[in-house]
Structure 1
Amino acid sequence: MTTPMNHPVTVTARINPDTDTAAVAPAPAVYIATVYVNTACHSFGGYQHHHLLAEATRTDGSPLRLVFNANGRTRGHEAAAEAAFEVGNGQSADDKGQTWPADIRSVSVGDVIKVTGPDHWIIHLSVERSGFSAVPEPTHLTDLAGSRASSRR
Structure 2
Amino acid sequence: MTTSVSRRVTVTTRINPGTGTDTGAAVAPAPAVYTATVYVNTARHSFDGYQHHHPLAEAIHPNGSPLRLVFHANGRIRGHEMAAEAAFEVGNGQSADDTGQTWPADIRSVSVGDVIKVTGPDHWIIHLSVEPSGFSAVPEPTNLTGLAGSRASSRR
The alignment's TM-score, normalised by the length of structure 1, stands at 0.81
CA shift digits 1:114-140 (9 cap, x unpaired): 000111111000000000000000011
- Please list every run of at least 4 consecutive aligned residues from structure 1 whose deviation after the TM superposition is greater than 4 angstroms: none
Structure 1 residue 19: Cα displacement: 4.6
Q: Secondary structure at the match of 1:143?
A: strand
Q: Give the equivalent residue in structure 2 for 1:51.
A: 54
Residue 96 (structure 1) aligned with residue 99 (structure 2): yes
Q: Give the equivalent residue in structure 1 for 2:31.
A: 28
Matches within 5 A, 1:66-145: 66-144=69-147, 145=152
Matches within 5 A, 1:12-27: 19-20=21-22, 23-27=26-30
Work out the CA distance in 2 between the residues paired with 1:74 and 1:24: 23
Structure 1 residue 91: Cα displacement: 0.1
Provide structure 1 residue ranges, at least 5 long, that are not aligned to the other structure: 1-16, 148-153
- Count of aligned residue pairs for this structure pair: 131
Q: Give the equivalent residue in structure 2 for 1:14.
A: none
CA shift digits 1:79-118 (9 cap, x unpaired): 0000000000000000100000000000000000000011
Provide structure 2 residue ranges, at least 5 long, that are not aligned to the other structure: 1-18
The structure whose Rg is larger is 1
RMSD of the alignment, in Å? 1.8
Q: Give the equivalent residue in structure 1 for 2:153.
A: 146
**Percentage of matched positions with identical amino acids:** 85
Work out the CA distance in 1 between the residues paired with 2:41 and 2:56: 5
